[in-house]
Amino acid sequence: MSVSIEHAQEVLRPPETGLAYLRHDRAGELTLEGGSLTLEGGRIAAFAVDQAADVRIDARGCAVLPGLVDCHTHLPFAGWRADEYELKVTGVPYEEIARRGGGIAASARALAGASDDEVVAQARGLAAEMLAHGTTTLETKSGYGLSVDGELRALALAARLAGEVPQATRSTALLAHAVPDRYTADTWMDEVEGMMGEVAAGPASALDIYVETVAFTNEHLTRMGRLARGHGLALRAHVEQFGTHRSVPVALEAGARSVDHLACLHPDDIAPLAASECAAVLLPGAEFLGAERTAPGRALADAGAICVLGTDANPGTSPVVSLPAIVGLAVRRYGWSVREALLACTLNAAWVLGLSAEAGSLEAGKRADVIVLDGPAAHVPYRFAHNPVWAVIVAGELAWVRPGSEDRVHR
């Protein structure tokens, strides 16, 4: 199929071709100029109109962006935890909820009690909602298995989900999410090491670990880094969410691809993180809904970090699947420009997943993942909670059109 997207008011493009990422002090170099583009054979072919295309899209008055990349989700999972949200908003800390058997343990029980079909069906529905909000690439995670068999099952369910959704997916093995019953953190890490052969032979491209008072320590982060290097996997880490543990220097030493959350990032760790190729993945949905501290997004951007946004879509701390909503939160809470926020969920998010050669920017030869908005890019954060997406193209195929907008698509 060939697609011609014509006469857009704005087309978001990088300042040069072939960038794996763009540091945030250069976000202002992204161009937002009018234009058209043609997609052919699942790839971006040219920045011009093709009057002979199979599908022609009238994009007058619209912004055309690369498909959004959600590099931090916890799909697939089972059920929800709305009861915990009420506890949190009435003053019960997350750590206390976890100690009462809530939090990750509650989601582990829900996953264990659900059939494979039920888990995948829920995740498929959430992926469809993500698609309608412009997400064309997403990460999946294990982490709610809390046993060897449970974690391997979660990774298998993520692989099944990948074959049932239109988006591209990337699998992360969050093998150290919480300490399972009857284990210490050390003995569970022994089990993690024992399952690495099966994990590395599967679809996972990264290992992940949660460092927090109710989870794992910096010593376990170092150990996970050794496992990642030994098995050819990227290392990612949930760090500095509820407390300052100085995990970022440890993650950098271990060669992490990203450090995620960072609400309690120590000021002394901003410059080393910004100087590295380790991405700072900020999750304002979790910060807002959990009344957490606000990550130093402005300082990280000014320092030239590789800044990234994700939904953190999960049943407990961030039951959010809309990246446009996350963009709105980031602009308001971090004091970012719209270019900074869009960079953080396109090219730089693709970098975290190892996909920036294929996704995250509009460049000739890249996979044709494209979204068309119903107005200029500046309206994404400004019209908060409005879904600005009216057309989504995944790998050159028209995957979603907002009901009522079909008259702008000509076949």
- Residues whose CB is less than 8 angstroms from the CB of residue 279 and which lie 6 or more positions away in sequence, other chains included: 21, 257, 258, 259, 305, 306, 307, 308, 348, 351, 352
Where helices occur in 345-395 by DSSP H, the ranges are 347-352, 379-382
Helical spans, DSSP H, in 100-254: 104-113, 116-132, 148-162, 185-194, 196-200, 218-230, 247-253
Q: Are 369 and 394 in contact (CB under 8 A)?
A: yes
Confirm if 308 and 236 have CB atoms less than 8 A apart.
no
HSE at residue 270, side-chain half, CA atoms within 13 A, is 16
d(CA 208, CA 177): 8
pLDDT of residue 95: 81
Looking at residue 237, what is its pLDDT? 98
Q: Where are the domains of the chain?
A: 2-19+27-66+361-410, 69-352
28 class by beta-carbon count within 10 Å (0-12 exposed, 13-18 middle, 19+ buried): exposed
* DSSP SS3 for 114: coil
**What token pair was written down for 327?**
């963009």
Measured on CA atoms in the order 156, 68, 321, 94, is the torsion positive or negative?
A: positive
317/315 Cα distance (integer angstroms): 7
Closest CA to 397 of 367, 377, 359, 375: 367
Side chain identity at 226, as an amino acid letter?
R
pLDDT at 362: 98
β-partners of residue 138 are 70, 169
Domain 69-352 falls in which CATH fold? TIM Barrel (3.20.20)
Burial of 26 from C-beta contacts in 10 A (0-12 / 13-18 / 19+) = middle
Q: How far is CA 190 from CA 70, 205, 214, 353, 370, in A?
A: 31, 20, 18, 26, 43
Query: Under CATH, which architecture does the 2-19+27-66+361-410 domain have?
Result: Roll (2.30)
173, 144 Cβ separation under 8 angstroms: no
Q: What is the pLDDT along the chain (411 residues), one digit of tens a residue?
A: 899 999 999 999 999 999 999 999 999 999 999 999 999 999 999 999 999 999 999 999 999 999 999 999 999 999 999 999 999 899 998 788 888 888 899 999 999 999 999 999 999 999 999 999 999 999 999 999 999 999 999 999 999 999 999 999 999 999 999 999 999 999 999 999 999 999 999 999 999 999 999 899 999 999 999 999 999 999 999 999 999 999 999 999 999 999 999 999 999 999 999 999 999 999 999 999 999 999 999 999 999 999 999 999 999 999 999 999 999 999 999 999 999 999 999 999 999 999 999 999 999 999 999 999 999 999 999 999 999 999 999 999 999 999 999 999 999
155's tokens: 């990774």
pLDDT at position 93 is: 86
- Same topology, domains 2-19+27-66+361-410 and 69-352? Answer is no
Q: How far apart are CA 343 and CA 149, in angstroms?
A: 38
Residue at 193: amino acid letter? E
CA distance 41 to 54: 11
Nearest residue to 332 (alpha-carbon basis) of 280, 284, 292, 286: 284
| Phi/psi of residue 256, nearest 5 degrees | -65, 145
Burial of 189: CB neighbours in 10 Å, binned 0-12, 13-18, 19+: buried
> How many angstroms separate the CA atoms of 114 and 132, rounded?
26
Contacting residues for 150 by C-beta, under 8 A, at least 6 apart: 108, 111, 112, 144
